[in-house]
């Protein structure tokens, strides 16, 4: 059951976790509100799984605390577990069981009984598309099918917080799109989600905010736009005009804040200092049109999350 509340649904307070000399998690803090999706990005070995396992009460931090719906994962893991669903990146399944029996077991283990249990199973099967293979033995499932089953298991008790460790791993392109829709649907219902992934463009599309972690440290976090503007000092604009390209270049080059302008056939590329909001871009377009140029295309380019990610991570492993 998703109950809206006034405190963050996920809150990390100065979390540390060391394995010997390896600082797997080194002072990580952030919070996720109800109905928000937080994307957790980082290169291999950055500490994503470690952080998520601590949140899922499978590991304990060396220092700091994390709260799920206001309950400490250290001191009230039992209460946390009732409110949270966790999909690990690496997990085992039972032999001699089919998908339906598997989900039934977990539904029972969350204390769902009678009609409530039956509905939960049917809803989950439908939601994850497992109803067509309900009878299949788990050991015979493909990787993607197992991912779906694991996701179904994590959400069978309709937790207020879902923690998904690389959920898109092993899914086919179509299933990835469906996963995105599922995530957005769950968030719209009020579920808070924490999702880790390597596929950045995908995270950008479904997350409200992002955190980039490397070598245990959170390098940057905030909304997608905040990160882009903080880390990309330029706004690159691309416009297509029917004629008078050269004149547009001249006009643009005397405008405030314009760093560089270049012409490329019918295209004019322009780099402006600082991140420009949509409103500022609209104002610029209005000015260009007002000057009498026939603009047929106007867009920003080259600011994908991949660029940000490649810029700020070094790829160093510890």
Ligand X SMILES: Nc1ncnc2c1ncn2[C@@H]1O[C@H](COP(=O)(O)OP(=O)(O)OP(=O)(O)O)[C@@H](O)[C@H]1O
What's the closest the beta carbon of residue 211 comes to other proteins, in angstroms? 23
Kindly state whether residue 79 participates in binding other proteins, applying the rule CB under 8 A: yes
Q: Which does 22 bind (CB under 5 to 8 A by kind): ligand X, other proteins, Mg ion, none?
A: ligand X
Question: With binding defined as CB under 5 A, does residue 209 bind Mg ion?
Answer: no
Interface mask toward other proteins for 169-188; x: CB under 8 A:
---x-xx--xx---------
CA dist., res. 111 & res. 57, Å (int): 19
For 292, residues 6+ apart whose C-beta sits below 8 A from its C-beta are none
CA distance 249 to 255: 10
Which residue among 4, 14, 63, 109 contacts other proteins (CB under 8 A)? 109
DSSP string, 207-224: -SEEEEEETTEEEEEEEH
Q: Closest distance between ligand X and the C-beta of residue 294, in Å?
A: 49
Q: Which of 49, 50, 57, 235 binds other proteins (CB under 8 A)?
A: 57
Judged by the rule CB under 6 A, the positions of this chain that interact with ligand X are: 19, 22, 24, 42, 44-50, 89, 318
Which CB, 62 or 297, lies closer to ligand X?
A: 62
Burial grade of 135 (CB within 10 A; 0-12, 13-18, 19 or more): exposed
Burial 231-258 (b: 16+ CB within 10 A, else e): bbebbbbebbbeeebeebeebbeeeeeb
Binding marks (x or -) toward Mg ion, 34..53, rule CB under 5 A? ---------------x----
Residues within the interface to Mg ion (CB under 5 A): 49, 89
């Amino acid at each position: 059951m998703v109950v809206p509340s006034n405190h963050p649904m996920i809150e990390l307070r100065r979390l540390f976790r060391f394995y010997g000399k390896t600082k797997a998690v080194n002072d990580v803090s952030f919070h996720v509100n109800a109905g928000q999706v937080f994307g957790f990005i980082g290169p291999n070995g950055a500490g994503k799984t470690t952080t998520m396992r601590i949140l899922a009460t499978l590991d304990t931090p060396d220092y700091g605390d994390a709260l799920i719906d206001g309950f400490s994962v250290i001191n009230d893991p039992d209460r946390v577990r009732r409110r949270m669903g966790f999909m690990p990146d690496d997990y085992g399944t039972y032999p001699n069981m089919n998908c339906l029996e598997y989900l039934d077991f977990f539904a029972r283990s969350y204390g769902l009984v009678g009609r409530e249990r039956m509905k939960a199973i049917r809803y989950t099967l439908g939601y994850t598309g497992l109803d067509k293979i309900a009878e299949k033995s788990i050991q015979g499932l493909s990787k993607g099918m197992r991912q779906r089953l694991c996701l179904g298991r994590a959400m069978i008790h309709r937790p207020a917080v879902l923690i998904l460790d690389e959920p898109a791993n092993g899914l086919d392109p179509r299933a990835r799109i469906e996963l995105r829709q599922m995530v957005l649907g769950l968030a719209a219902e009020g579920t808070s989600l924490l999702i880790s992934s390597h596929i950045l463009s995908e995270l950008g599309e479904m997350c409200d905010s992002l955190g980039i972690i490397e070598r245990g440290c959170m390098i940057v976090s905030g909304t997608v736009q905040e990160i882009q503007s903080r880390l990309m000092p330029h706004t690159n604009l691309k416009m297509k005009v029917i004629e008078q390209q050269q004149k547009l270049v001249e006009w643009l080059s005397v405008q405030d804040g314009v760093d560089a302008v270049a012409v490329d056939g019918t295209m004019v590329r322009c780099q402006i200092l600082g991140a420009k909001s949509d409103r500022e871009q609209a104002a610029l377009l209005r000015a260009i049109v007002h000057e009498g140029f026939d603009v047929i295309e106007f867009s920003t380019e080259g600011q994908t999350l991949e660029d940000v990610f490649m810029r700020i991570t070094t790829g160093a492993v510890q």
